[in-house]
Structure 1
Amino acid sequence: MTDPMPAGSGRRRLAARCRGITEAPSFGMGVFAVILLNAALMGLETYSGLAAEHRQVLQAAEQSCLTLFTLEMLLRVGAHADRPKAFFRDPWNIFDLLIVTSAFLPFLRENATVLRLLRLARVLRTARFLPHLRILLLAVGRSLPGTASFLFVGALVVYVYAMVGWVSFAAADPQHYGSIGRAALTLFLLTTLDGLTDAVRAGLEISRFSILYYASYALLASFVLVNVLIGVVLNSLDEAREMEEADARARERAANAMDPADEVRDRIAAARLALDDLEASLDLAKSVPPPAAEPELLAERRLEAAR
């Protein structure tokens, strides 16, 4: 008699089949190629003449890309049919789901500008298939708090130097230091050291001490603060790389780990096999005849019977 099919076995088979497809290298390369094709189509639509001449072909290609993206999402959702909560634990799954499903919302499809922006967001999905790009994006996200602190310090430095510049050069150079806004804009542009030579020459015509003003600003804004920003980004990059490696190890452990229900079923099956072997050995022992008694023991029994 065959055992009844356990509950949820159909979902497990579906998840196993979809997982086998989505985890194949060819699947990832195919989706990556479709993303690049979608980006190329958006670029071709910027040429008005070409877009007007091949409008139907471009629309058909766009619909084909959307169909393939939808099929991809269905496969990814199916790969988590046995554990739906795990699908939403991955931020990339949520991002991909929002980008793909937004194309089917009526109020978004009617707005051409929003629809183009959503199509442009599909290009960001390339980070899912490029580990190094994913690490860079994660590093940028983790560096935002440090970058905010850097921007505050940089704005403070620019404001202080802008006030000093307005006090010192407003009368002689109102075009660049006539107000706090113009002075801050001038100093912000000088952060890249572009035009610093002309600014120093103009300052020397006003005062010889202007060289100290520009030299200290260039040293503080262009070297110290920029190097601090680079340090913050590099530190975030190391943290992002460690997080990516930890996530990869966690995914590998989760893939190799056995489901508790499957483990219990395996133990039950092993116990059944052991019981079957024990039952077979008992049946074999019953079928074997007892060994013949020795002659001396038989003679002794006969004498006892005769007495």
Structure 2
Amino acid sequence: MIDFARLQSKFTTLRSNKAFELFVVIVIISSALLVGAKTYELSPLAITLVVWLDRLITVFFLIEISIRFLGEENKKDFFKNPWNIFDTLIVTISLIPIDNTDMALVARLVRVFRVLRMVSVIPELRLLLNSLIKAMPQLGYVILLMFIIFYIYAAIGSTLFEDINPELWGDITISLLTLFRVMTFEDWTDVMYETMTVYKLSWIYYLTFIFFTAFAFLNMVIGIVVNVLDEEHAKVRKQAAIDAHEPTIADLQQQLEEIKLLLKQQTK
């Protein structure tokens, strides 16, 4: 008779094993290399080899996701993790035999997304992505303010420089693209010198725009992301201390207050 509790314990130990995680990462990288290999012209033998390797990788992913599912104590909790849902969906679609049908393009695209499984396997990558997602509400206001600055400068540029170069300043949408080129420093001096032949002080327009966008707003974005990342790291350290039953600063402060209270009672 199968001892399911013992089997589950083995699966739990296996999925948290560093060597197993490293092997999964190697397989994911191999899967990405196979996707890249299919973009080249290959010999019939190489194509056959790539197809069989892709099938082996798909089978491995099925086994790996099964181990992770069976190693979960509460099976319902497994699907509460969005990354587990993503992994299961990618593996399930990869099993559908649609390579020789009209959906072959979809099958290839799904195999490209298998590279994202590296994020679900490596905790540090999950932390970075989660921090970026949690920073989005704050970044939204920065992006909105940046768009306002873009729009104002695009309207000014279209009004002043349209006659100089309609291809760059013909309307506000083209002006927005031109300003994006200026912000990314893609030959922006050529654009500036062209307008300076008519408006000698137009350099003020470009330098102020670059200051607001490339310097000020970019640093704001970096600051927000770094701040959220620090908060996530603090949460991870706190949770690790709780899991290890190590006292946190709050616990030590509480214990110190209890000692002070006890000493006061004894002196009385």
- How high is the TM-score relative to the length of structure 1? 0.71
Query: Residue 23 of structure 1: which of 7, 16, 20 is its match?
Result: 16
Q: Deviations over 1:270-294 (max 9, x none)?
A: xxxxxxxxxxxxxxxxxxxxxxxxx
Residue 100 of structure 1 aligns with an amino acid whose one-letter code is: V
Which secondary structure does the structure 1 equivalent of 2:219 belong to? Answer: helix
Is residue 79 of structure 2 the alignment partner of residue 104 of structure 1?
A: no
Which secondary structure does the structure 1 equivalent of 2:176 belong to? Answer: helix
Which secondary structure does the structure 2 equivalent of 1:47 belong to? Answer: coil
Which secondary structure does the structure 2 equivalent of 1:206 belong to? Answer: coil
Change (3 A) 1:248 1:62: farther
Aligned residues: 244
Query: Residue 170 of structure 1: which of 142, 159, 162 is its match?
Result: 162
* Deviation, structure 1 residue 64: 1.0
Change (3 A) 1:246 1:39: farther
* Deviation, structure 1 residue 212: 2.2
Which secondary structure does the structure 2 equivalent of 1:209 belong to? Answer: helix
Number of the residue aligned with 2:182 = 190
Is residue 21 of structure 2 the alignment partner of residue 35 of structure 1?
A: no
Is residue 137 of structure 2 the alignment partner of residue 145 of structure 1?
A: yes
Q: Deviations over 1:188-234 (max 9, x none)?
A: 11012332322332222112331222222121122111111111221
* Deviation, structure 1 residue 61: 1.0
Is residue 171 of structure 2 the alignment partner of residue 200 of structure 1?
A: no
Residue 99 of structure 1 aligns with an amino acid whose one-letter code is: I
Which secondary structure does the structure 1 equivalent of 2:180 belong to? Answer: helix
Structure 1, gaps ≥5 residues long: 254-307
CA distance, structure 2, for counterparts of residue 71 and residue 234 of structure 1 = 37
Change (3 A) 1:252 1:116: farther
Number of the residue aligned with 1:240 = 232
Number of the residue aligned with 1:267 = none
Number of the residue aligned with 1:214 = 206
CA distance, structure 1, for counterparts of residue 41 and residue 230 of structure 2 = 45
Is residue 8 of structure 2 the alignment partner of residue 12 of structure 1?
A: no
Residue 94 of structure 2 aligns with an amino acid whose one-letter code is: A
Query: Residue 82 of structure 2: which of 88, 91, 95 is its match?
Result: 91
Change (3 A) 1:165 1:135: same
Is the contact between residue 96 and residue 125 of structure 1 (CA under 8 Å) also seen in structure 2?
Answer: yes
Number of the residue aligned with 2:56 = 64
* Deviation, structure 1 residue 251: 6.2
CA distance, structure 2, for counterparts of residue 156 and residue 125 of structure 1 = 37
Change (3 A) 1:98 1:251: farther
Superposed, 1:224-239 pairs within 5 Å as: 224-239=216-231
Q: Deviations over 1:234-274 (max 9, x none)?
A: 12322332344455556667xxxxxxxxxxxxxxxxxxxxx
Is the contact between residue 103 and residue 109 of structure 1 (CA under 8 Å) also seen in structure 2?
Answer: no
Query: Residue 121 of structure 2: which of 129, 133, 137 is its match?
Result: 129
CA distance, structure 1, for counterparts of residue 189 and residue 243 of structure 2 = 55
CA distance, structure 2, for counterparts of residue 107 and residue 126 of structure 1 = 24
Which secondary structure does the structure 2 equivalent of 1:49 belong to? Answer: coil
When the two chains are superposed, the root-mean-square deviation of aligned CA atoms in Å is 2.6
Number of the residue aligned with 1:44 = 37
Residue 92 of structure 1 aligns with an amino acid whose one-letter code is: W
Q: Deviations over 1:165-189 (max 9, x none)?
A: 1222222332322221222221111
Q: Deviations over 1:77-125 (max 9, x none)?
A: 2112x42123223333222212112223467984111111211121111
Query: Residue 71 of structure 2: which of 71, 79, 96 is its match?
Result: 79
Change (3 A) 1:89 1:247: farther
Change (3 A) 1:73 1:142: same
Superposed, 1:255-294 pairs within 5 Å as: none
Residue 25 of structure 2 aligns with an amino acid whose one-letter code is: F
Residue 170 of structure 2 aligns with an amino acid whose one-letter code is: G
**Kindly, what percent of the aligned residue pairs are identical?**
30
